[in-house]
């Protein structure tokens, strides 16, 4: 059983190596294409004390910030609507 498993693993490794040799190499990047600058921030995820470094482009950060602001606005609006429906009390 062990010999058969080793034979299968060896066959997979040989097949993978043969495929890697026949794969075409990627064309070099066009010089006209500029490298996009990434902006990195350290953020602490909920439930963690260790910050994680997150890197995105300026446009991606803008989209993330807009989505976060939209979620915050939706939360605040739903809270306001719930207060008005319950007679204006704050629930405490």
pLDDT digits (tens, 9 = 90+) for 2-55: 455 555 655 555 655 555 555 555 555 555 678 889 999 999 999 999 999 999
In a domain, 67, yes or no: yes
In a domain, 50, yes or no: yes
pLDDT given at position 35: 86
In a domain, 79, yes or no: no
Confidence of residue 84 (pLDDT cuts 50, 70, 90): low
| Run of H or E including 59 | helix 58-85
Reduced to 3 states, what is the DSSP secondary structure of residue 41?
strand
Residue 69 has pLDDT above 70, yes or no: yes
Reduced to 3 states, what is the DSSP secondary structure of residue 74?
helix
In a domain, 7, yes or no: no
Q: What is the pTM of this model?
A: 0.50
Mean pLDDT score, 66-89: 83
Structural domain range at position 51: 38-74
pLDDT given at position 17: 53
């Amino acid at each position: 059983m062990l010999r058969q498993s080793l034979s299968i693993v060896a066959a997979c490794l040989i097949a993978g190596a043969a495929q890697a040799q026949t794969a075409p190499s990627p064309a070099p990047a066009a010089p006209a294409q500029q490298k996009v600058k990434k902006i990195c921030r350290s953020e602490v995820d909920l439930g963690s004390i260790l910050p994680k470094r997150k890197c995105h482009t300026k446009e991606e950060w803008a989209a993330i910030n807009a989505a976060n602001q939209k979620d915050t606005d939706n939360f605040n609006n739903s809270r306001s609507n719930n207060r008005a429906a319950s007679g204006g009390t704050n629930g405490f």
